[in-house]
Amino acid sequence: MRSRAALMTLLLLCGSLAGCAGPPDEDEDGVTDELDLCSLTPIEELVNDSGCSASQRDGDGDGISDAGDLCTETPADEIPNESGCSATERDGDGDGFADADDSCPSTPANETVASDGCADSEVDMSMRPWWCHSMGSGHGEGQEHGDHLAPAYYGMTKGMLSWQDCIDVSEQFGDAIEWAMQWPTVADAEADGFHMAVDYVEGMGTHHVRLGDFSMDADFDPLDPEFPDTRMDGVFDFEKPEFLMYASSAQDAELVGFAWYVKTDSENPPTGFPGDNDWWHVHQVLCFTNSSFQVVGEDISDEECHSRDGTNVHLDDYWMTHAWIIEPWLTQFDVFTNHHPCLKGEGAETDFEDPCWDESVNGSGDDEGSEHNH
């Protein structure tokens, strides 16, 4: 760029030389008219090699001159505001999210936002999925299958997840549903290698698991069990729950839920899902048949288990949690409850007028919202 000072130097030099005359420069910006794309540049504005000042040029072609454009590289076809910035370039509330990606573009200052640009205070109940709010103890009332509360949860209550935890749990549930729905019936699961480790149980349905090449052979230690060639290990994989649960053992029985099963130790449940609503439980001793690895008793004596051609397997270090997110088998009062009220002792209830479906939405009323200390 050349300025008026450079022009004056040139004129003084020419004044001392006989016959010195330069090409015309009407606006005296130092760029000859022949090369000047902006022939009427205001006095004292700096120009580029084409003779245009910032007030005259529009580098990104957004209709805002560079002199007033705070975003000089606006992508083509994006509409800028009066400052020359499009929604992908501006961050109106200063939360670190461009307005185009910000679900809440007016977040109050100093509030922490989630990955969609919204703070907890901006997300009302109508925006929150039902599975982000749980009540009660999560273990069900009057059940005999995993209805105990682990000491790790004494004194705790469930509640509303933070908005970020809600977003994360929602994405994880979506991945789990997509994966599990590859096997919508018992026939689909068993044809693809799933084994029914637990026959139909009230509140739970069946438990189907991939066993691979695992068997309770001579190397298997029922007091400190490991399950090689299966996914029953110390890894929590939210996308692939270890157990699929069906409405019965019949081949056409539908998928109703699933469960994760993770080894830690006897006192500490897995970290699991974001937030504090996924309360895990332990089945301390299960009697498995030696030939088919199927549960035929829980917390029974070794003698009783042997009489059923089984072995008592001590599972103190293995933790389980369920999520009821397969329609219509939802438990809206607590997505992580252990039992579904419509999986009755006599079989799955499919009459939606039955009171159990109201209970699946609202809970039994016995323990919602209460604090659990024992």
The answer to whether residue 74 is domain-embedded is no
80 band by pLDDT with thresholds 50, 70 and 90: confident
Flag whether pLDDT at 146 surpasses 60: no
Answer with the one of 42, 57, 72 that is the final residue of a domain: 57
Give residue 138's pLDDT band: very low, low, confident or very high (50, 70, 90). Answer: very low
d(CA 57, CA 159): 57
Residues 261 and 145 in one domain: yes
Per-residue pLDDT at 244: 98
Residue 115 counted as domain residue: no
What's the whole-number average pLDDT of the chain? Answer: 85
How crowded is the C-beta side of 180, counted as CA atoms within 13 Å?
Answer: 31
The answer to the question of residue 94 being in a domain is no
- Residue 181 placed within a domain: yes
- Better-predicted residue by pLDDT, 215 or 93: 215
Average pLDDT rounded to a whole number, residues 5-9: 51
Distance (Å, whole) CA 260 – CA 175 = 14
Q: Is residue 116 part of a domain?
A: no
What distance in Å separates the CA atoms of residue 227 and residue 219, rounded to the nearest whole number? 11
| Number of domains present in the structure of the chain | 2
Q: Which domain holds residue 240?
A: 132-362
Long-range contacts of 264-272 (CB under 8 A, 24+ apart): 264/234, 264/317, 264/319, 265/317, 266/316, 266/317, 267/151, 267/152, 268/152, 269/150, 269/152, 269/319, 270/236, 270/319, 271/236, 272/236, 272/321
DSSP E strands: which ranges in the chain? 194-201, 205-210, 243-246, 255-263, 285-289, 295-298, 310-314, 318-323, 325-326, 329-330, 343-344, 347-348
Asked, for residue 367, whether it belongs to a domain, the answer is no
Region for 24 from its dihedrals, namely left if φ exceeds 0, alpha if ψ lies in -120 to 50, beta otherwise: beta
Q: Are residues 140 and 45 both part of a single domain? A: no
Q: Give the predicted TM-score (pTM) of the model.
A: 0.76
Give the tokens for residue 283: 């089945």
pLDDT value, residue 33 = 61
Residues shown for the chain: 374
Q: What is the band of 136 on the pLDDT scale with cuts at 50, 70, 90?
A: low
Last residue of a domain, one of 34, 57, 80: 57
Q: Is the pLDDT of residue 72 over 80?
A: no
Asked if the structure places residue 136 within a domain, the reply is: yes
Torsion sign (Cα): 326, 330, 331, 332:
positive
- Are 188 and 337 contained in the same domain? yes
**Together in a domain, 51 and 136:** no
Task: Tell me, yes or no, whether 140 and 4 share the same domain.
Answer: no
In a domain, 372, yes or no: no
